[in-house]
Amino acid sequence: MNREHFLPYCRLDIHDNYTIVTTSEGVNIGFDEVEEIDAVLKRFYNGRLFGMIANRKNRYSINPLAVKKFFADESVVAGAVVGYNLATRLNAEIENEIIDGAPIVFFTDLHSAIRWIESKVELDRSKLTTVSA
C-alpha cells in the first residue's frame, strides 16, 4: 500500500508500516487536526501496528498535548521527526519528553527515519506474535 491523502493542512503518504505526514507552511495543528489525521489512519490501518514520521520541511506550530493523545493509541508504536535545523531537533526532544505512549526519535534524513520506523514496527509485531502464540 502506498497512498497519498490530502487534508487542508497536510499531506499523508500512507505505506504498509508507516505514514509520512508533511504539514503545510504556517498552519497550526491542534486537537481537531490530529483527530482528523487519526480518523484517516484508522481507516487505512484498521488496528494494525504502524509508525508515524513527521517530515518537518515546513514551519508550523503543533499542540504537543494533541500529539500525546495521538501516540496514546496502542496501534502507533513509534514516531520519527525528520528535521533540517536545530530548532526542529529541540522541539522533537521536548515532544519526546511529553509523549509517553511511544518513542520519538529525531533524524536528519527521511531514509534513516523510514528504516528505523520499519524495524520498530516489525519488532513490535513480532512481540505480539510471540505473546499470542
Estimate to the nearest angstrom the gap between the alpha carbon of 111 and the chain centroid.
15
Supply the pTM of this predicted model.
Answer: 0.90
* pLDDT score of 98 more than 90: no
**Quick one: average pLDDT of 65-75?**
90
For residue 26, the one-letter residue type is G
The single residue listed with the C-alpha cell 501516540 is 71
* pLDDT score of 54 more than 90: yes
> Which domains, ranges and CATH numbers included, belong to the chain?
2-121 (3.30.750.24)
Q: Which of 120, 80, 78, 86 lies closest to 102 in space, CA to CA?
A: 78
pLDDT of residue 89: 85
**Quick one: average pLDDT of 76-90?**
90
